[in-house]
């Protein structure tokens, strides 16, 4: 990458919760929460990523923090554009150049996206400076990131539990054979925890605290071989507004997430129902891969394996698998014909 490289290539995993940008050498340039802080009067961007996340829920009237993506879809177009532009700028901040090169970007999108949603992502990327914008479905990217041979005549199933959507897809011959995209994912689990704390313990918790509870004691089984320590939550009592400290155990969280996780169960079963029998046999033999932030919930693979009877594997580094796969697609742009223009 000298002073005179005319095209710059980036791979982007534009997620509801986190955005990851990878260069064409496979190096992770950016891994930040998908959130921006804007000035209410001028709509200028004040902060981005982790800085903006620390402001989330703590702002005054002049600042608003926005998560531009909801349920895997761009909800706030202007904010999304500023975020993408800011992220690309951050990825380039240590490169000295006389002029800005033309960008070639591969962006991943949820497999259940409608034409309009795909269009929104493409327009945002183009407005943020992308000359060539390619699209890739998330389960496809996840399969590449795990290291599966996606073009082989063999069935593989991916369950990608992200922040906004859960994607379940069967992949064979470089395409998606059957897919199911449900809008129950990390954000909904966080909301479940907020509701539960309010109902059960009479304590008000914000989105960030609920997220911390999920990370520290989040589990889907009531009996774990290696249980985490209880997490102490500080917050106001809902009735009296006096401060409370409540210890939360992983068993409680397992009960509170049960309803949402069982919806993911049934979505996986429904995707398996629509799978051709030959591919079904492959899936039973190879197992099912879980990726995305939801894969970090304790006991998830075990629970699914017991419930469905097919071996589940959690991908290594599940948070970045999709981004790594997008990076692989970027390096093989001419070879893979499943990239969409």
Q: What is the CATH number of domain 154-184+262-318?
A: 3.30.420.40
Q: How do residues 6-31 score in pLDDT, each as one tens digit?
A: 778 899 888 888 999 998 888 888 89
Q: What is the pLDDT of residue 125?
A: 87
Whole-Å CA distances, 198 to 150, 207, 237, 292? 45, 12, 9, 28
Q: How do residues 186-203 score in pLDDT, each as one tens digit?
A: 999 999 999 999 999 999
CATH topology of domain 186-256: Actin; Chain A, domain 4 (3.90.640)
Cα angle 248, 250, 256 (rounded to 5 degrees) comes to 85
Residue 33 has pLDDT above 60, yes or no: yes
For the chain, the average pLDDT equals 89
Which CATH number is correct for 7-142+322-331, 3.40.50.1980, 3.40.50.1370, 3.30.420.40, 3.40.50.720?
A: 3.30.420.40
* Domain residue ranges of the chain, discontinuous segments joined by +: 7-142+322-331, 154-184+262-318, 186-256
Beginning with the edge strand found earlier in the chain, give each strand of the sheet holding 175-182 in spatial order. Answer: 175-182, 166-172, 156-161, 288-291, 312-314
**Which residue has better confidence, 284 or 102?**
284
Are 7-142+322-331 and 154-184+262-318 in the same CATH fold? Answer: yes
Label residues 200-220 b or e (16+ Cβ within 10 Å = b): ebebebeeebbbbbbebbbbb
pTM: 0.89
Q: How do residues 75-115 score in pLDDT, each as one tens digit?
A: 888 888 889 888 888 888 767 666 667 888 999 988 878 88
The percent of residues in the chain predicted with pLDDT above 70, rounded, is: 96
């Amino acid at each position: 990458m000298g002073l005179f490289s005319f095209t710059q290539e980036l791979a982007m995993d534009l997620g509801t919760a986190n955005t990851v940008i990878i260069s064409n050498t496979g190096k992770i340039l950016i891994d930040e929460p998908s959130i921006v802080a804007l000035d209410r009067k001028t709509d200028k961007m004040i902060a981005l990523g982790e800085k903006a996340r620390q402001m989330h829920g703590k702002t005054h009237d002049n600042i608003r923090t926005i998560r531009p993506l909801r349920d895997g879809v761009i909800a706030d177009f202007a904010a999304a554009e500023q975020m993408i532009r800011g992220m690309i700028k951050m990825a380039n901040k240590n490169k000295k150049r006389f002029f800005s090169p033309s960008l070639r970007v591969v962006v991943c999108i949820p497999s259940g996206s409608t034409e309009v949603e795909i269009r929104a992502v493409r327009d945002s990327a183009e407005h943020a400076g992308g000359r060539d914008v390619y699209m890739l479905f998330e389960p496809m990217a996840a399969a590449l990131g795990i290291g599966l041979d996606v073009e082989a005549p063999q069935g593989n199933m991916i369950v990608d539990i992200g922040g906004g959507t859960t994607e379940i897809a069967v992949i064979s011959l470089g395409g998606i054979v059957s897919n199911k995209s449900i809008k129950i994912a990390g954000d909904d689990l966080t909301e479940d925890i907020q509701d539960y704390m309010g109902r059960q313990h009479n304590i008000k918790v914000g989105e960030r605290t609920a997220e911390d509870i999920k990370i520290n004691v989040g589990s889907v089984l009531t009996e774990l071989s290696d249980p985490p320590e209880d997490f102490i939550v500080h917050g106001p009592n809902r009735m009296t507004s006096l401060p409370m400290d409540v210890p939360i155990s992983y068993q409680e969280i397992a009960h509170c997430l049960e309803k949402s996780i069982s919806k993911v169960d049934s979505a996986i079963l429904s995707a398996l129902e629509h799978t051709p029998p030959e591919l079904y046999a492959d899936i039973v033999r190879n197992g099912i891969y879980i990726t995305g932030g939801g894969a970090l919930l304790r006991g998830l693979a075990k629970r699914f394996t017991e419930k469905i009877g097919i071996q589940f594997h959690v991908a290594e580094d599940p948070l970045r698998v999709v981004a790594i796969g997008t990076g692989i697609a970027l390096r093989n742009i001419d070879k893979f014909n499943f990239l969409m223009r």
